[in-house]
Structure 1
Amino acid sequence: MEIGNLQQEALALLKNLIETRSFSGEEEGTASLLENWFKKNNIPFYRHLNNVWACNKNFSKTKPTLLLNSHHDTVKPNSGYTRDPFKAVVENDKLYGLGSNDAGGCLVSLLATFTHFYAAEGLGYNIVFAGTAEEETNGKNGISCLLPKMPDINVAIVGEPTLMNLAIAEKGLVVFDAVVKGTPSHAAHPNNNNAIYKSAKALQWFENFSFSEKSEALGEVKLTVTQINAGSQHNVVPAKVDLVIDVRVNDCYTNAEVAEILQKQAPVDEIIPRSLRLNSSSIPPDHDLVKAGIDLGMETYGSPTLSDQAMLKCPSLKLGPGDSTRSHSADEFIYVKEVEEGIEKYIKLLEKALKISY
């Protein structure tokens, strides 16, 4: 299919995706739209739950495999919307609608790119496309359950809105539940072990603490106390104070290492990670995909936001049309031109990086 036709078909699919509800865990309709694309283009595909994936026609077990991945679930629209979030409308080159920017534009652009290369011969890599579910909630029925069913992946492009710049690293995430314990008592009586006063010292420690290793791409590990809860009534000193700590991890540490450091050093009685699976991710700056993108005028940076990259064990690059600052915003939109250019740039990137011959 000619690139111009691919662009038109991709935009038509994006409009249909916008008008089909696909909150995380409720993506049946949009998964069916992806199936219809493959059927229309005579491409064999697979579906597991609400995840849809396909391999290029001339897949070879002797070649490394590149994954093109983006998600088709959305968050729920916020109360600031002035438009119907499920109505795809183009005004002044802006395509409005929930999921248009995060990450529908990336999804259809990668799908169009995969379709462009599907039947090509002489590919240096196998190419696998996966449109996945439950990204917005890091759910168990998204890419994490799909990976064991697909071929081994050697490198991945994860479609998220980056203004088509190269996010060569992405911070991981660990959320900790911490407890500061004290002695419960009546407020009228002396108490030298007040959990609330003790928590003030712990909060100051968290505010001043820093991890020693700084990443060139991602900077420092960012630790933030985001919740605090204690007490039930005015005349009772509580037995404990509960804290929640959000830690954004750079690529100098694994999540397990961060947990070990805080469990040894933090001045609290308990500190327990909710999960260690959302590690930081990156791709070597000298990887062919990165070098090709730079040659095409793309800039590199480290991303503070989380994506399905966290589930991958291979080098991965986050790249896509749209702007991350529009994600989860009211009256979400993507420029039509961004989608069209995204398809063109993805194709040029793969041609250059993977030394594709036709």
Structure 2
Amino acid sequence: MTQEISNLSGEAISLLKELIGTPSFSSEENETALLLEQWFRDHDITFHRENNNVYAFNKHYDQNKPHLLLNSHHDTVKPNSGYTRDPFKAEIKDGKLYGLGSNDAGGALVSLLAAFTYFYKKQDLSHNLIIVASAEEESSGSKGLNSMLEILPEIDVAIVGEPTLMQLAIAEKGLVVFDAEVSGTPSHAAHPNSNNAIYNCIDVLSWFKNFNFPKVSEVLGEVKLTVTQIKGGNQHNVVPAGVDLVIDVRVNDCYTNNDIARILKDQAPCKLTPRSLHLNSSAIPKDHPLVKSGMALGRSTYGSPTLSDQAALSCPSLKMGPGDSTRSHSADEYIYMAEIEEGIELYINLLIGFLQKTTS
């Protein structure tokens, strides 16, 4: 590790400590946006802000070159009840940096900031570099990365920073959430009723349990359909008119979200209403130069079951970052300091390999 990269690593970890100490729930990221603005000022980088999204372009921007987006988010979920530590106090113990958002996705965000800063003043890059520290990722809100795509130039390829142990997530499942209604006939519990909505749920739940989408992705596997919520009735002596279900569908790259909605609405034995169809699956070809650059560094490829801001992008995108996805949204969240240091160096080497290959 060169002295320049070592210095950037130290500064990135200091920034992450500040971010942890600053609450930034989705749509409430103003204070962390100010911290990110200060990073750019401290490194003499021209930056812009749109709502709580902070973004910048490399110094020698050339509109005739393709665009590579570096993106991660600075919002967090709310801490769960299992925390034994102060979620807003950055603490280091046994090489671990504890705190809410340390792993998801603070480590990836500060590592990408460091990598962008490393390349900011360099000339003769094959691509323009754009970094967006985005808001509202955890809530899939309307003022996050999706809103930035109307402002930014067309993106040709992207790296989305999320905890992947710095392995290469070359595909990501999409998401469709359905509200389902199982109907019946309301009645007094003391009277006969052959159309009890709660009993009708037995066959409906069995149908969802056994239903399979036939197309299986080489990278992402099967579409995963799960009933996650059920609600019906509010009095012990009244049979309700209906029971509400929530269906969570994780979509592979063999289907669009519109395909999933059409198939289920045609075949499911109950009324279904999708909440949204915009969180589609995403992928990047395994032979893409960006992926090849990562593989040359000993990184492996896989398909990710979790959702990120990749869902907002229509270009080839790679999900990669320090930290472990299994720690995300967990109590006493943490990231290893060494993971951040490794992440910054790997991001830089990944980009060096990509920019050299695409230039030659």
- State if a TM-score over 0.5 links the two structures: yes
Structure 2: how far apart are the matches of 1:43 and 1:202?
A: 57
Which of 22, 25, 28 aligns to 1:23? It is 25
Which aligned pairs between 1:263-342 and structure 2 lie closer than 5 A? 263-268=265-270, 270-342=271-343
Matches within 5 A, 1:217-236: 217-236=219-238
Q: In the alignment, residue 340 of structure 1 is paired with which amino acid?
A: E
Unaligned runs of 5+ in 2: none
The amino acid of 1:276's aligned partner reads: L
> Aligned equivalents of 2:109 and 2:272: distance in 1?
38
Mapped to 1, the partners of 2:299 and 2:73 lie a distance apart of: 23
Distance 2:192 2:83 in 1: 53
Q: Which of 73, 76, 92 is equivalent to 2:75?
A: 73
For residue 186 of structure 1, report the CA deviation from its aligned partner: 2.5
Which residue in the other structure is 2:263 paired with?
Answer: 261
Cα RMSD of the aligned pairs, angstroms, is 1.3
Cα deviation, residue 4, structure 1? 1.3
Shift of 1:233: 2.1
Distance 1:21 1:186 in 2: 50
What CA distance in whole angstroms lies between the structure 2 residues aligned with 1:24 and 1:115? 26
One of 175, 178, 190 as aligned partner of 2:177: 175
CA distance in 1, matches of 2:118, 2:206: 55
Q: Deviations over 1:105-143 (max 9, x none)?
A: 100100010011111111111100000111111111111
1:194-238, CA deviations, whole angstroms, 9 ceiling, x for partnerless residues? 222222111111000000100111100000111111223233222
Instruction: Report how far residue 354 of structure 1 moved.
Output: 1.9
* Alpha-carbon separation, structure 2, partners of 1:230 and 1:53: 46
What is the one-letter code of the residue matched to 1:37?
W
Cα distance in 2 between the residues matched to 1:161 and 1:257: 29
CA distance in 1, matches of 2:310, 2:346: 21
Listed one character per residue, the Cα deviations across residues 289-311 of structure 1 (whole Å, up to 9, x for unaligned) are 11111111111111111111111
**SS of match in other structure, 1:355:** helix
- Equivalent pairs counted in the alignment come to 356
Q: Which runs of 4+ in 1 moved over 3 A?
A: none
Deviation at 1:191, TM superposition (A): 2.4
How far is the alpha carbon of 1:14 from its aligned partner? Answer: 0.9
Partner residue of 1:110? Answer: 112
**1:98 corresponding residue in structure 2:** 100
Q: Where do residues 174-253 of structure 1 align in structure 2 (5 Å cutoff)?
A: 174-253=176-255
What do residues 56-92 of structure 1 show as CA deviations (whole Å, max 9, x unaligned)?
A: 1111121110000000111111222222211112222
1:156 Cα deviation (Å)? 0.6
Residues 234-280 of structure 1: per-residue CA shift (max 9 Å, x gap): 33222112111110111111111100000000011x10000001111
Deviation at 1:9, TM superposition (A): 1.0
C-alpha deviation, 1:12, in angstroms: 1.1
* Partner residue, 2:132: 130
SS of the equivalent of 1:114 reads helix
Structure 1 unmatched runs, 5+: none
**Given the two structures, how large is their TM-score scaled by the length of structure 1?**
0.97
The alignment-based identity, stated in percent, is 67
Query: Residue 315 of structure 1 aligns to which amino acid in structure 2?
Result: P
Find the residue that maps to 1:148 and give its secondary structure: coil
